[in-house]
Amino acid sequence: MTTATTTRHAAGVADAVKVYGSGDTAVRALDGVSVGFPAGRFTAIMGPSGSGKSTLMHCAAGLDTLTSGVAFIGDTPLSTLDDRRLTLLRRDRVGFVFQAFNLIPTLTVAENITLPLDLAGTKGSREWIDALVDVVGLRDRLHHRPAELSGGQQQRVAVARAFAGRPDVVFADEPTGNLDSRSGEEVLNLLGRAVRRMDRTVVMVTHDPVAAAHADEVVFLADGRLVDRMESPTADKVLDRMKAFDAKGGRS
C-alpha cells in the first residue's frame, strides 16, 4: 500500500530541456524542469497557454524525446531504450486518456477496454477488469459501440482502457476538454477514485481550475519552467494562482 508521503516516483523528468526548431526560430518549450510524479497520487499540471504542459507530459510519457535531461518511468530512464523497447514500455507501463476519447468505433465497449491487453497478447486479470467496469459504471453498456454512448460515457470507457493493463502511470491530456461540466465531473471523480481506491497514479494536464482541484497536488509551469506546486488544491486557490500569472505576463 502506498502512502501519501511516499517519495517513490511513478514517472518524472530531471533537468528537462526541450527545444523545438533551431536558430532564430528555436522555441525553448522546457527550460530545465525537474519534477517527479509520486506513485499513488493524482498530480495536475497547470500553467498559461504555451507554458510547456503538453510538452512536459509528452516527454515524461515517452511520446516525445527531450533535447537534454532525463525522463523516467519508474526507475527506467527513457533515453536508455531503443525504439522497440520504448514502444513496449509505453504499451505495458503507461496508460493514456486524451481529450478526443480515441475509441475504436467498430469495437464494443468491452473490446475497447481490453484492447491494450489484446494488443499485448495477454489476458490481464479478470478480477481487475471486472472491478474497473464497476468503478466506471459501464456494466450495462459492455456490448454497445462507442457511437451509442454519450461523450461522458465514451470518456469513461477511455479511462477504463487506460487502467486495463495496470500501468505504472496514466497520463490524461485535458480529459474533460470535450465534456459538459457534469460529465467532466464524473470523469474526474473516476480518476480520483482510481488513485485513492485502486492505488493508481494519474498525471493530468488541464486548463481548468475546477478539474485541477480533483488532484492531490498541482504543479505550475510558466515559460517552460516549474514555478510552483500546490498541495490539496481548491478551485479558488488554483484560480488565484493562475490570475497571478496573468497579472505578471506569464512568469510568477
Q: Where do contacts with ligand ATP occur on this chain (CB under 6 A)? A: 20-21, 27, 29, 47, 49-55
Return phi, psi of residue 141, to 5°: -120, 5
What separation in angstroms does the CA of 235 have from each of 78, 90, 215? 34, 32, 10
CB 127 → ligand ATP: shortest distance, Å?
A: 37
CB 33 → ligand ATP: shortest distance, Å?
A: 11
DSSP 10: E
Q: What's the grid cell of residue 84?
A: 522497440
Q: Please, which residues have CB within 8 angstroms of residue 246's CB and are 6 or more apart in sequence?
A: 48
The C-alpha atoms of residue 46 and residue 238 are separated, in whole angstroms, by: 9
CB 250 → ligand ATP: shortest distance, Å?
A: 11
Query: In terms of CB distance, is 74 or 250 closer to ligand ATP?
Result: 250
CB 139 → ligand ATP: shortest distance, Å?
A: 35
The C-alpha atoms of residue 38 and residue 33 are separated, in whole angstroms, by: 16
The C-alpha atoms of residue 116 and residue 8 are separated, in whole angstroms, by: 26
Query: In terms of CB distance, is 52 or 209 closer to ligand ATP?
Result: 52
Query: In terms of CB distance, is 50 or 74 closer to ligand ATP?
Result: 50
The C-alpha atoms of residue 111 and residue 106 are separated, in whole angstroms, by: 9
Q: What's the grid cell of residue 157?
A: 470507457
Query: In terms of CB distance, is 51 or 153 closer to ligand ATP?
Result: 51
CB 111 → ligand ATP: shortest distance, Å?
A: 31
CB 193 → ligand ATP: shortest distance, Å?
A: 26
What is the per-residue DSSP string for 92-141? HHEEEE-SS----TTS-HHHHHHHHHHHHT----HHHHHHHHHHTT-GGG
Query: In terms of CB distance, is 59 or 149 closer to ligand ATP?
Result: 59
Query: In terms of CB distance, is 174 or 186 closer to ligand ATP?
Result: 174
